[in-house]
Amino acid sequence: MNRITPVALFLVIIIAAVGTFAYFVSPSSGSSSQTSSSYNSTMEITLYANANGWNYNSTHPNPTLYAKTHVLLEFKIIEQDNFPHTFTINPGPNESQSNAFINVNIPAIPGTVVWVNWSFSSPGLYTYWCVVHPETMVGQLIINSSANSSSSPSVIQGSNLGNGSTVNSVEYWAHEEF
């Protein structure tokens, strides 16, 4: 047996195992390192995935959404038109796929509901859009800092337990701009 075969085998295996582990847990390049932050209340926002606009049947096909930091935004996205869509959010006023920190595919069966939950830690202007229809499906999301942001982690109970238990401070304010 060749003198270097056993050591080479050992090194190859160890380096492969440790290297791939580091690769698996590393954030991938291109996507921002943002993570969903802690939250102390939740808010539900309904959007329709439709090639003509995120809320095509309303007077505001692509509403500007207002929300606060440290609020868990529960985006309820309903497929409407048999076309594939994505729900994508990136910071800034313009669409940018490389800065997107949310990029979720919506299956093309009308009626499919996809939930996307996110809580922002920093206030600012964000863009939500669809990668497949960047011209017609794009809107703005404005995050203001919350006045009383307590950092204590809160456990949110499911609001649909059906046993009459209500959830603290669930707020529904998907404002629209006029």
Partner 1 sequence: MNFSFELAIFGSTIAVLIIMGFLLYFFVQDYRKSLLSKEMETAPKEQANAYLSRIRRELSFSAFIMDDSKSIGIRYLITSLAFFFIAGLAGVGMRISLWYPNPSYLTPIQYNILLTEHGTLMLYGWATGSILGLGYYLLPSLLKIKKDSLGVLNSIMYWFFAVGGLLLIFSKSTASWYFYYPLTDQLTQAGGGQFSFAALIGVLFILTATCVASIIFLKMIFLDRDEKIRISSMSLFVWSIVATAILIISSAPISMIADGMVIYDLINPIYFTGANSTALGYAIMFWFWGHPIVYVAVIPAFGLIYELLPKYVGKPVYSYSSGVIALLLLMIFSGTVWGHHLFNSGLGTLWDMIFSTTSFIVAIPSAITVFNWIATIWSGKVKLTLPMMFILNAIVDFIIGGVTGVMQSDVGVNALIHGTYWVTAHFHFILLGVTTGMAFAAIYVLFPTFTGGRRYNSAMGKLHFYLTAGGTYVMTIPWALGGFEGMPRRVAGYFGIFQSYQDAAAIGGVILGIGQLIFLINFVYSAYKPVTISNDNILEEASS
Q: Can you give the binding site for partner 1, defined by CB under 8 A? A: 1-2, 5-10, 12-14, 16-18, 20-21, 23-25, 27-32, 34-35, 82, 84, 86, 101-105, 107-110, 112
Report in angstroms how near the CB of residue 123 gets to partner 1 at its nearest.
19
- Tell me the residue length of the chain: 178
Residue 145 C-beta: closest distance to partner 1, Å: 22
Find how far residue 97's CA is from the centre of its chain: 13
Q: How far is the CB of 90 from partner 1 (least distance, A)?
A: 11
Beta partners for residue 85, in sequence order: 106
Nearer to partner 1 among residue 9 and residue 125 (C-beta): 9
Nearest CB to partner 1, comparing residues 9 and 175: 9
Q: Which residues pair with 102 in a beta bridge?
A: 89
Q: What is the per-residue DSSP string for 88-141? A: EEEESSS--STT-SEEEEE-SSTT-EEEEEEE-SS-EEEEEE-SS-TTTSEEEE
Residue 3 to residue 40: CA distance in whole angstroms: 62
CB of 101 to partner 1, least distance (A): 5
Whichever of 104 and 170 has its CB closer to partner 1, that residue is: 104
